[in-house]
Amino acid sequence: MSRVFITGIGAITPIGIGREGLWEGATSGRRGVRAIDRFDTSEMRSKVAGQVDDFDATAFLDRKQAQRTERFSQFAISAARMAFDDAGMRLSGDHDDIGAWIGTALGGVVFAESQYKNYAEHGLRGVHPTLALNVFGASSCCNVAIHFGLHGPTQSNSNSCAAGAVAIGDAFRAVRDGVCRAALAGGVEAPLAPLTFGAFDIIKSMSTRNADPASASRPFDAGRDGFVMSEAASMLLLEREEDVIARGATPYAEIAGYALTNDGEHMTAPRDDGREAAKAMLRALAEARVSPDEVDHVNAHGSATPLNDSTESRAIRAVLGAAADRIIVSGTKGMTGHALGATGAIEAALCAMCIKESTVVPTINLEMPGPDCDLRYSPEVATPLKQNVVLSNSFGFGGLNAALVFKSA
């Protein structure tokens, strides 16, 4: 088995594009949530989202490729390109030993939504001929493989809001165990369309703080009232230790542990005692061969929903014990919103950069922690902190609990 390092980061988020854009946005506390202008929200309770308004697909794909793909796959290819470039890896020809693992909650469902409208108005002649090729979740990793000539394993998962973390965890193990030499791993989500957005609005899971969009996403705050949906993509390049050394690459961090559990109890509500979430954290730490009191920083899922944040707080405290009073916890969704299947990958990228830059990113819009959220949260400004071990949580509908452990490289 080989140690596995993150050597490249590509990102498309509401607070910045590219590794540098994401890091600058996060460390400056930029708020990426605003009033939706993509579609009519007059019938909806929630009217805010994290939109990416400065993405240009033709900056990463030629015009013909951009026309053949829709936003979901464009995000994937573009973030992958940035990850390769950031790692200084130049690809040419075929690559039998590089794979791609990409998580997404909804895949190309927004493109399908637009085509259903065309079908209703014009019949089959109004439907785009690439619909069948763009709607399924694996279109992201398949388009990435085709675009870059990757012939290693390609896998997509739809593990709701834990999907990006699951993809990174699975890719980490594949590289570690010699299934492939390197892997692109991350998450992609482009869910902003009326029916898709409205489906979450109907179940009253999203914030209705419409008068002040920038403060709508409030991880762990007493006034939190739901998550804020956003679109984003984040891709990491994972490489074996021997290849990192041979290339003379400078890694951001090592991936050392991963675990996945399920509450097995409810589709939308977390298990009240947080037992399975805690179990995921403990198993990931055990795989990384570190004890809970060696953790320097916890990147929390922090969805800003009333139930999830209090449950996660209990789970974190159960894992860390007395150390929970000193270990800093951050929640980034106050800045980025909640990008569903991409969110764990965005936060993995930030964890890696936090380690490399000895900095903890701020927790935005946390004015007063809720009564059940009694942890030591990062302030609203970036904070210097040397970190040897970082634990990152990603939870999702269906009771999914994923945890990743990162170490200093």
| Residues acting as catalytic residues | 161, 301, 338
CA distance 401 to 261: 5
What is the number of alpha carbons within 13 Å of residue 39 lying toward its C-beta? Answer: 16
Radius of gyration in angstroms for the set of CA atoms belonging to the chain, rounded to a whole number: 20
Q: Which residues pair with 100 in a beta bridge?
A: 154, 184
CA distance 80 to 10: 6
Question: Please, what sign has the CA dihedral across residues 316, 189, 227, 349?
Answer: positive
Q: What angle do CA 172, 329, 312 make, to 5 degrees?
A: 80
Tell me which residue of 205, 213, 362 sits closest to 299, measured CA to CA.
362
CA distance 49 to 340: 12
| Pair 219, 35: CB distance under 8 Å | no
Distance (Å) of CA 160 to CA 112, 180, 338, 403: 18, 26, 12, 14
Q: Helix or strand or coil: residue 393?
A: strand
Token duo for residue 345: 């990958």
Residue 229 DSSP class: B
Tell me which residue of 334, 339, 338, 331 sits closest to 378, measured CA to CA.
331
